[in-house]
Structure 1
């Protein structure tokens, strides 16, 4: 299959700042932005685009907002009721109203689809309601962030908005009933010490939700239920690398499942961008932990946006997420989009993230900075005839008036790890990206292994030659330090007798003083030394012997080296085991042998 991803592009009449697909129709995309208040001639607008053609975008409807108000800074698409789609947006009121302490920044709009025949001619966008969710009356504040929890059939969604440029930062929550039709209800607000860099919302049960938000260096979670809204809890903090003073900083975050987040991290001093998959804490006293990570291409020094799509989501918030693949898109400051796949593995009570791998880098997508990213939802086809048309769409918008939609091809995938049993359910199938991910090259791995093997072989051969073992190959001994080229000394091996063992055995059978001497009658060992004898001392038979304490220091040294050489004694045993033991004479020949070996 070709690595080309079908692309469609359209240029509108105003700068774009946000985009979102209709969750029930991947062929319908909402984009918004504008020139803000003033007489610059650039309007503030919301536009509906038809994206059903993978190589062409068509404008189907547009609403022009007041030129006295601000541009559209944030956007999210809610549920559909009959032929009406609910859209939430952030638009600051006029400067005149703001000065009077009234900023109706939270807008609710409706997109009416009269019928199938009117898809390109009769679509209409209109405003339904406007309100203020933030409590503090700061004239410089605007609604910078807006997110909704994932939609489930017959379940309400939770929405969240966050301030920008606020002296007193806030996050406001609101309910989105599943009935649609523009209904919503304020849920309350949170005062936070620092403004949220990004936020997301996840449904954790029939009536429970979790909010996650990040500032530059910390991630917080908030529990939301009928009983109320919990205080924010810090679950993760970025710390500087060892020896460094500058910290990396969070740019974006998104929920993967209730147990995992994915975050975009801008490294300090414009040294690139990282993707971190975080496992959220299961217990109150725990912190989040990095479960997986990846790097963006070196040409991307900062990230500007993130979008994620689960290709096989659970059917309800009460169902456990099974095996699935996520598609991840990260916008860079070079107007590129880096695409990754990420696997979620589930077995019994254990959930894992695996294979965070790039599969395509879309370069120069827009002529200006990318300001918004959004994936369409994906619904598996009901008939095999449409299998060849499978794709998930990725929309991106930029300040340069452009909207681009990429159609990423998908394919059916059967989980081979789940064995099909006779009479039982068939193997589970799901959908994954059809393009091959670019994991680590086998050639790279083999090269690294080869280097490691050669290095180990070199070290091993150097060691052997330094000890005059085997045939010289490198001829490296003359160039090695003297301390490296000494002969190997034997150390006690489990199962072999040390001098301590020999003395203990002799003490069991005898109460008289023991002697350690050489047995001159027996044949020398491989080192040319006569074997050791430990037993009762007989001066007439064996000659004179001297206690350890009375030995000359030079003789003590020779005896220790003799015992070390044959592996009977090591320094860690100490000299105390020699106390009260007699030692025979260590002859000149034996002393010479020991000395030469040293």
Structure 2
């Protein structure tokens, strides 16, 4: 029986559109009824979630009823010199009157004062401290639909974080980039803007160096990346495009994306005609000449026809952007249009210079979490419990979800310490450092899937092996691989043994040419080395090769050789011990012979 995750819920008096964790014990939620006289307020609420059985409202900020509801929100974190003051950024459109005047200060900075211990004793306050506009176009219907910040790094507290916001319902789509300083100021500094051809369906940001970042965004069918540094913002590069499935004309479409590491993205894909949802892990390109590639995928339960939100959490994050991500597990949550949440784990493995994604597997499906559509998901951060008084049974990450039906639900996902002992027992090396993983067992792929994948891998290996054999000239041309392989891949079959090697290998020209004759479609050539390569018999050394006229020069089939040249070749091979008369001449049928005239012919003739 599947262990049920502990959960708590609360009902607020307004529809909710966004949420984020202030810390593991506090959640910020926001939304509202928008401008008008509908009686539903626009609010930002702080909830205490430390008790796994109940959620408690701590405080709230009621916004102007003349302005829009809160559609996007992200917690920046505690201010540097005020650890009990947390900065929050939110997307709130100005009033219709201001927008009609061309003024829409949609980005708001707020502070939550003393959200720590005082949350239980009162005195907590949410205050607006700044507002401004990021978008330059003045479309009346435009709003700030998505807001993201690059994740903070534990070992890089002095570095600013890059923020990105994208428009919704705009006739002139924009993505605005801005810096959120690490100082005590809650304000931001604009970096620049992008003008995508269509509005971004989703976006995310990750830090790649001390002051370099990468932005990824998707529209319905394409994924783009943008490099951001102090000096410039690159042009968007399309790195991946969804193609229709075989036999289909309609493409699937992207719903969401998130960075896993600087090398991988995870995306949610809605199949056409509401025929299901899939998770796709993409390996990002390492240089301009490459594109992203599908690294792993999984299907959501058949009851989910569309996805509405995505959240991802790394349980072993790196301390700085320059640190290499080692083995780690990610928790992935996908909300469906049936008010379910599908939970997955995904493994990141690193060996030598290679990184791979593996074991994308479900560990629980939470059904009917809300009475109406889920609008947003968030997963709390997880830090190893150094010096913590919590027992291993109390370790968890928290999954928050909100809905248009005014409900908030928080689930506790248990975490445990994990040490890969199997690697050390096989190699004799010390075990790898401990890390943390979900304490619930994930469900692996079905046997049919495993058998199919194994068969596919086996078939690919067979085809690759056959292509290699054909390139080497060892096999009949079943695939015709030599026509498509680079010339540099087609290497000589083997050298003809010289006299001193015959005693060791006990091979004659009969052995070699018998092989060649068995694969007579290969254009083989017997030729002399240059005059500097003299064998023990005092004659130029021989070798057998796959014929390449550019490399070997002209060659003639045995049947088309002049009689005198045939005699010279027979005597040459006979004297060196490579051929005897009782072998017959049929062994040379279909074999090309290099020139034996000129200087080489004289040497051979004189020696004979």
- Residues 369-427 of structure 1: CA deviation (Å, up to 9, x unaligned): 00000000011112475222100000000000000000000111002255389999763
1:436-515 alignment runs, 5 A limit: 436-441=441-446
TM-score of the pair, normalised by structure 1: 0.73
Contact 1:337–1:361 (8 Å) recurs in 2: yes
* C-alpha distance in 2 between matches for 1:58 and 1:381: 25
Q: 1:346 to 1:447 in 2, by over 3 A?
A: closer
Q: 1:131 to 1:315 in 2, by over 3 A?
A: same
* C-alpha distance in 2 between matches for 1:236 and 1:443: 29
Provide the residue aligned with 1:150 in structure 2: 151
**1:54 maps to which of 52, 55, 61:** 52
**1:213 maps to which of 210, 213, 217:** 217
Provide the residue aligned with 1:134 in structure 2: 135
Pairing 1:306–2:307 present: no
Contact 2:180–2:189 (8 Å) recurs in 1: yes
* C-alpha distance in 1 between matches for 2:222 and 2:270: 13
Contact 2:332–2:343 (8 Å) recurs in 1: yes
Q: 1:445 to 1:393 in 2, by over 3 A?
A: same
Provide the residue aligned with 1:234 in structure 2: 238
Contact 1:105–1:132 (8 Å) recurs in 2: yes
SS in 2 for 1:96: helix
* C-alpha distance in 2 between matches for 1:233 and 1:445: 35
* C-alpha distance in 2 between matches for 1:447 and 1:263: 24
Contact 1:84–1:181 (8 Å) recurs in 2: no
Provide the residue aligned with 1:318 in structure 2: 322
Contact 1:373–1:395 (8 Å) recurs in 2: yes
* C-alpha distance in 1 between matches for 2:454 and 2:242: 33
Provide the residue aligned with 2:506 in structure 1: none
**1:402 maps to which of 398, 407, 412:** 407
Contact 1:141–1:164 (8 Å) recurs in 2: yes
* C-alpha distance in 2 between matches for 1:111 and 1:342: 34
* C-alpha distance in 1 between matches for 2:449 and 2:221: 34
SS in 2 for 1:228: coil
CA shift for structure 1 position 121: 1.7
SS in 2 for 1:437: coil
Q: 1:120 to 1:423 in 2, by over 3 A?
A: farther
Provide the residue aligned with 1:379 in structure 2: 383
**1:341 maps to which of 326, 341, 345:** 345
* C-alpha distance in 2 between matches for 1:155 and 1:418: 37
Contact 2:58–2:119 (8 Å) recurs in 1: no
Pairing 1:432–2:427 present: no
Provide the residue aligned with 1:95 in structure 2: 96
* C-alpha distance in 2 between matches for 1:445 and 1:337: 25
Structure 1 runs, 4 residues or longer, greater than 3 Å off: 117-120, 420-427, 441-450
Which structure 1 residue ranges, 5 or more long, are not aligned?
A: 451-493, 502-572, 578-598
Q: 1:114 to 1:11 in 2, by over 3 A?
A: closer
**1:393 maps to which of 369, 375, 398:** 398
Q: 1:89 to 1:445 in 2, by over 3 A?
A: closer
Contact 2:130–2:187 (8 Å) recurs in 1: no
Q: 1:34 to 1:298 in 2, by over 3 A?
A: same
Contact 2:118–2:124 (8 Å) recurs in 1: no
Q: 1:267 to 1:441 in 2, by over 3 A?
A: closer
SS in 1 for 2:97: helix
Q: 1:423 to 1:434 in 2, by over 3 A?
A: closer
Q: 1:7 to 1:289 in 2, by over 3 A?
A: same
CA shift for structure 1 position 55: 1.4
* C-alpha distance in 1 between matches for 2:277 and 2:429: 46
* C-alpha distance in 2 between matches for 1:402 and 1:262: 27
Provide the residue aligned with 1:76 in structure 2: 74
CA shift for structure 1 position 73: 0.3
Q: 1:445 to 1:174 in 2, by over 3 A?
A: closer
Q: 1:258 to 1:120 in 2, by over 3 A?
A: farther
Provide the residue aligned with 1:109 in structure 2: 110
* C-alpha distance in 2 between matches for 1:241 and 1:303: 19
Contact 1:375–1:394 (8 Å) recurs in 2: yes
Contact 2:211–2:230 (8 Å) recurs in 1: yes
* C-alpha distance in 2 between matches for 1:446 and 1:220: 35
* C-alpha distance in 2 between matches for 1:335 and 1:186: 37
CA shift for structure 1 position 183: 2.9
Q: 1:317 to 1:51 in 2, by over 3 A?
A: same
* C-alpha distance in 2 between matches for 1:420 and 1:312: 23
Q: 1:355 to 1:446 in 2, by over 3 A?
A: closer
* C-alpha distance in 2 between matches for 1:88 and 1:176: 10
Q: 1:113 to 1:420 in 2, by over 3 A?
A: farther
* C-alpha distance in 2 between matches for 1:86 and 1:60: 16
Provide the residue aligned with 2:467 in structure 1: none
Contact 2:419–2:431 (8 Å) recurs in 1: no
Q: 1:422 to 1:415 in 2, by over 3 A?
A: closer
Contact 1:79–1:180 (8 Å) recurs in 2: no
Which structure 2 residue ranges, 5 or more long, are not aligned?
A: 456-510, 519-585, 591-608
Provide the residue aligned with 1:33 in structure 2: 31
Contact 1:80–1:181 (8 Å) recurs in 2: no
RMSD after superposition:
2.7
Pairing 1:365–2:366 present: no
**Structure 1 stretch 98-107 or stretch 145-154: which is displaced more?**
145-154
SS in 2 for 1:419: helix
- Residues 494-522 of structure 1: CA deviation (Å, up to 9, x unaligned): 99x99x99xxxxxxxxxxxxxxxxxxxxx
TM-score of the pair, normalised by structure 2: 0.72
CA shift for structure 1 position 115: 5.6
Aligned length in residues? 458
- Residues 521-565 of structure 1: CA deviation (Å, up to 9, x unaligned): xxxxxxxxxxxxxxxxxxxxxxxxxxxxxxxxxxxxxxxxxxxxx
Contact 1:85–1:181 (8 Å) recurs in 2: no
